[in-house]
Amino acid sequence: MDLIGLVNNNKNKVFNIAVIILALIIALNIYKKQMANIESLKVKISEENKKNKVLEGLGKLENKISSYQELLPNKEVSFFMSEISSIVKDSGVKLTSIRLLAEEPYPEYTKYAFELTVNSPNYDLLAKFINKLEAYQSVYIIDNIIIDSIDIGAFSPDKGGELKATLRVSAVVMLK
């Protein structure tokens, strides 16, 4: 009787303990599911952050491309020849010939190659012309240069002498 009496006296306590244990098991299962959801959300956040970094990189590349497109506008061959002629006049050298060598089309741009022949009274004016050509707002790339003395044996760095320079110059035009 003591055992039955003990159970009757503590019936509510046993029932309460069973309910508490059941509630803990249910809470633990809910916690595990929520932790799994949190981990999957952390993975998704990490993936989205990586995508955002890639998109930022693409944005920067688009800005660079647009700045290059501004630097390399769409121009005609005659415009390049006119620009080169004005650079020659400003530099103090004499343009003896200019001709288009090649037109190389690429998917995003076209490259024009010109051959220039200039005469210069001295090396300093020739260097001034080359510097102005390379520093000009339009992009000109000197691919090759051959410098000869017009009077054979007359040129020396100290005395000077008239020079003839043949340059292969490239210009780039962006296609729109």
Average pLDDT, stretch 115-140?
89
Say if residue 91 is in the same domain as residue 149: yes
At which of 70, 86, 103 does a domain end?
Answer: 70
Domain C-terminal end among 55, 70, 85: 70
In sequence order, the 6+-apart residues with CB closer than 8 A to the CB of 26 are none
pLDDT: which is higher, 17 or 67:
17
In the prediction, which pLDDT does 160 show? Answer: 60
Q: What is the pLDDT of residues 101-118, one digit of tens each?
A: 888 888 888 888 999 999
CATH number at residue 135: 3.30.70.60
90 and 166 housed in the same domain: yes
Domain that holds residue 153: 77-174
Domain count, the chain: 2
Assess whether 123 and 41 both reside in one domain. Answer: no
Per-residue pLDDT of 59-103, as tens digits, reads: 888 888 777 666 555 567 778 888 888 898 888 899 999 988 888
End position of a domain, from candidates 70, 91, 114:
70
> Do 168 and 82 belong to one domain?
yes
pLDDT band at 42 (very low <50, low <70, confident <90, very high): very high
Residue labelled with tokens 């292969």: 168
**Please, which pLDDT band fits residue 144 given cuts at 50, 70 and 90?**
very high
Q: What pLDDT score does 73 carry?
A: 54
66 and 35 fall within a common domain: yes
